[in-house]
Structure 1
Amino acid sequence: MPLIESFSGIRGIYGESLTQEVAQHYARAYRSFLLDKTGKKKLSIVLAMDTRPSSKELHDAMASHFEEVYDLTCLPTPIAENSVREYHADGGIIITASHNPPAYNGFKFLDADGAVLRPHDAQRVISLYHFPEKETSVNNGNRSIDKHKEGIALYVKFITKIMGNKALQMIRNAHPKLLLDPNGGAGIVYHEVLRELEIPADVINSTLGKFAREIEPTASSLHGLKASISRGGYAIAAGFDCDADRVELATREGIISGNYVLALVVDAVLSSLPNAKAERVIVNDATSRVVHEIVARFGAKVKEVPVGEIYVVDAMKKEQAKVGGEGSSGGSIVAPSTCRDGLLSLLFVLKLAAERKMPVQDIIGSYPKYHTVRKDIPAKGFLKKRQRIREYYSRKGYQVTEGDSIKIVVDDATFVWFRQSKTEAGLLRIIIDTKEQHRIKLLLDEAQRLVGKI
């Protein structure tokens, strides 16, 4: 399988398309990019990794290409991004393939604000990898500084500042019984973070690098959590991916979809604002309409952006938005954070439940019921089919918007969405979102027939 290169990062199967040599060349490309961007002669970066078998080898291959490395070793993406800001680093590298299977690995390159590189900058790094302009060697040696413990402590302070002491005390007073499932990933440290916040939690699958389920937290991969919740009497359980920016939440009733997690976080944030109706909430265009309806309850507005965390982050900055996210991947972003943060999402959900003195499932029960189905199919020939899709749905009188994705708004409570994956090679993603469950099969079959034609 070829290397997957996009603004979301670089991913491949280790030992095949991704090797230590590839990592070294990408480190040089990123170094060249940073030297040009900053105008500096010496660079400092934050370096972090997830717990895949190949992460340490890739870490060692990349670290020597920078004068000063703030080394976090195995820590989650949100902690790495916060550390870039705290240390005023020139950038950062996170060695991870996020939700991809263990055989994969890759890199996320960070900007000076901690966010992943903007698309044009990411493309520049990719270009420098394929077409190096000049060799740049490290000046006067390389210095690596162990920042594992300090990175955690700084993140605890960051979380405390975003949540506020009043909200954290409200959660403590509610005594929610929590279960964490980091699945052997970097999120194992979240148990320690919660302990520092004086919010107790139990943890399963907490051996570094030992994956007890599929890495991507989904309804199917977290199916076993329901039994654990019942046995332990937990109010809520959280399952994380390997770099712990994504989270799926579960209660005794089952898995809470990513769209509803985002709806809960949006509800929690807007309900704490004195003038919520003046707010804009930023979501990607694959996010369920349930989030739109929750935003509308506050009189606030929604702005849609293309899929990609950085599009949400930049739109939030431009609009001075307090909250945004990608319901399609269960990712919530609360300013001033610059990434999806699974632990922060969990804390805002707990805050909402404590504030309303209601179980999470009862709060969800007060929301409009939307049914969202995602189907991944081979993407072969999709670019040639885009015009056919656009023309077909336009003839039916539906609103069609096209950019990176194609979104068809059937009515106020139904959409069909197509996009070729940037992180999983050869996959076309179709999403159906509707209040009317009986329409799902019809709409999905129609969409698949349409893209199935050659």
Structure 2
Amino acid sequence: MFGTSGVRGRVGEVITAALALDIGRALVADGADTVVLGRDVRESGRTLSRALSAGVTECGGDVVDVGVQPTPTVARSVVREGADAGVVITASHNPPPDNGIKLWAADGRAFDEDANARITTLVETQAFDLAAWDELGEYRRQEGAHAHHERALRESVALPGDLTVVVDVGNGVGRVTADALHAAGCDVETLNAQRDGRFPGRPSEPTAANCETACAVVEATEADLGIVHDGDADRMMAIDERGRFVPGDALLALFARREAEAGDRVAVPIDTSLLVADALADVGAEVTYTPVGDAYVAAETTNSDVVFGGEPSGAWIWPEQTRCPDGPLAACTLAALVSTEGSLAALVEELPTYPIRRDSVRTDSKQAVVERVGELVSGEFDDVSTLDGIRVETESGWFLVRASGTEPLVRITAEARAETDADGLFETARGLIDRAGEEIQAN
């Protein structure tokens, strides 16, 4: 039921009020006495949050509703309230017809596989004990989560007051970034700042293709920096002062190098560029690989020598602050970096570049396809990892084939130190997927 980012899907099909009700019940059956609840701007979130709240309270649990907030704001509220669990009703960067339910542990990180499995079993077996009429849980609305998050940003980051920053909120809930930077004295211009779960300004996912308008505005206004968020603001991507979208691997390398010292480790997913490992080697630190998904990265940051974790898709985790990917915190940290060390374009240009190819293949048999690819490569390549999907190392580079945790897609990543090698590895991976799909259909 749960993928790498909770349970997501089309409203009325995969995501229903009945499911939300049962997940609320399951949280209490799993031991949660108090649950913090928040949601993004999708209109369907009203119904789903009410249903989930009803499930919690009718089993005797209490609900603290912080309202429409960024995912990292809700995760921080779980810790601040001393709650046992948290829920965000969000489909993050998915399209408007979708919604989702993501669960958070008491320490502010996403539920891991074991915890999600427990909830799944409780929902499937309907193993709930409903409370008596006079033992129902309480519901209360908690104001001030936004202000607490903004204050935490100011306290944890030396915010600059001399930058011009364009913040593309993406019609989502990430206004706290603009508020924090503005309060510090920055000249802030917002784009798509009106909350609208239809995401009319641009698709919610902050990719280069979706952020062309923001890039143009940064260049035209001669801003120092551009910030873009997804719908629930757990992701943050950036635009340099020349109006160029900064690749996620480059941002990950910059953040990692800023945080790590000799002997430290940085947690990254298995599809991360060689660039990050090379950047850390320069300071005597190293990467530790995880399966793809911020929950896996967050889990690795519980080790004392892991000082930072991130994903090229735009999720950034500073474990001393929060184990939830915090897009506003990343935005403020990047602004501080640019203010003290110079232009973002110059910082990125100092990094080596390796050709990396990423694409997806749509299929309703994603797990079967990946499993068959694993069987195919086992006899053709010597260095194969199954940490998450199938990663193949060669003398010229590597490729990864893995099933998406949230969509009916098989992801392909290939990287090498030469363009032709990257192209060749990508075509090899694509060919293996096509072959696997054909064999599955034939059977």
Shared fold by TM > 0.5? yes
Percent identical pairs in the alignment equals: 26
| 1:388 to 2:388 alignment | no
| 1:147 to 2:142 alignment | yes
- Report if the CA contact (8 A) 2:397-2:421 is conserved: no
- Report if the CA contact (8 A) 1:406-1:419 is conserved: yes
- Report if the CA contact (8 A) 2:227-2:236 is conserved: yes
Structure 2 partner of 1:99: 93
**Given the alignment, which residue of 247, 255, 266 partners 2:256?**
266
Q: Deviations over 1:202-235 (max 9, x none)?
A: 1111111151111111111112212211222212
Output the aligned Cα RMSD.
1.9
TM-score (norm 2): 0.90
Structure 1 partner of 2:62: 68
- SS of the aligned residue for 1:353 comes to helix
| Contiguous gaps of at least 5 residues in structure 1 | 36-42, 271-275
Could you tell me how far 1:197 is from its partner in structure 2? 4.1
- SS of the aligned residue for 1:203 comes to strand
Could you tell me how far 1:374 is from its partner in structure 2? 1.2
Change in Cα spacing, 1:384 to 1:264, as seen in structure 2 (3 Å) is closer
Structure 1 partner of 2:432: 450
| Cα distance between partner residues in 1 of 2:246 and 2:73 | 25
Output the amino acid matched with 1:186. V
| 1:369 to 2:353 alignment | yes
Q: Deviations over 1:255-276 (max 9, x none)?
A: 1111111112112223xxxxx1
Output the amino acid matched with 1:59. S
- The aligned runs of 1:249-288 (5 Å cut-off) are 249-251=238-240, 252-270=242-260, 276-288=261-273
| 1:416 to 2:404 alignment | no
| Contiguous gaps of at least 5 residues in structure 2 | none
Could you tell me how far 1:119 is from its partner in structure 2? 0.8
| Cα distance between partner residues in 1 of 2:52 and 2:274 | 42
Change in Cα spacing, 1:199 to 1:140, as seen in structure 2 (3 Å) is farther
Output the amino acid matched with 2:413. I
**Given the alignment, which residue of 18, 31, 44 partners 1:54?**
44
Change in Cα spacing, 1:384 to 1:289, as seen in structure 2 (3 Å) is closer
- The aligned runs of 1:288-299 (5 Å cut-off) are 288-299=273-284
**Given the alignment, which residue of 96, 109, 114 partners 1:120?**
114
Structure 2 partner of 1:11: 8
Change in Cα spacing, 1:179 to 1:148, as seen in structure 2 (3 Å) is farther
| Cα distance between partner residues in 2 of 1:354 and 1:231 | 20
- Report if the CA contact (8 A) 1:268-1:348 is conserved: no
| Cα distance between partner residues in 1 of 2:361 and 2:379 | 20
Corresponding residue pairs, total: 424
- The aligned runs of 1:124-135 (5 Å cut-off) are 124-135=118-129
Could you tell me how far 1:130 is from its partner in structure 2? 1.1
Structure 1 partner of 2:297: 312
Output the amino acid matched with 2:369. F
Structure 2 partner of 1:405: 389
Structure 2 partner of 1:239: 228
| Cα distance between partner residues in 1 of 2:294 and 2:100 | 17
| Cα distance between partner residues in 1 of 2:279 and 2:165 | 26
- SS of the aligned residue for 1:223 comes to helix
| 1:222 to 2:211 alignment | yes
Q: Which deviates further from its counterpart, 255-264 or 378-387?
A: 378-387
**Given the alignment, which residue of 362, 384, 391 partners 1:378?**
362
Q: Deviations over 1:14-73 (max 9, x none)?
A: 1222221221122112221125xxxxxxx2111110011211111111123234322211
- SS of the aligned residue for 1:254 comes to coil
- Report if the CA contact (8 A) 1:7-1:117 is conserved: no
**Given the alignment, which residue of 321, 327, 331 partners 2:315?**
331
| Cα distance between partner residues in 2 of 1:220 and 1:310 | 26
Could you tell me how far 1:378 is from its partner in structure 2? 3.0
| Cα distance between partner residues in 1 of 2:138 and 2:178 | 30
Change in Cα spacing, 1:228 to 1:158, as seen in structure 2 (3 Å) is same
- SS of the aligned residue for 1:318 comes to coil
- SS of the aligned residue for 1:34 comes to coil
Output the amino acid matched with 1:419. R
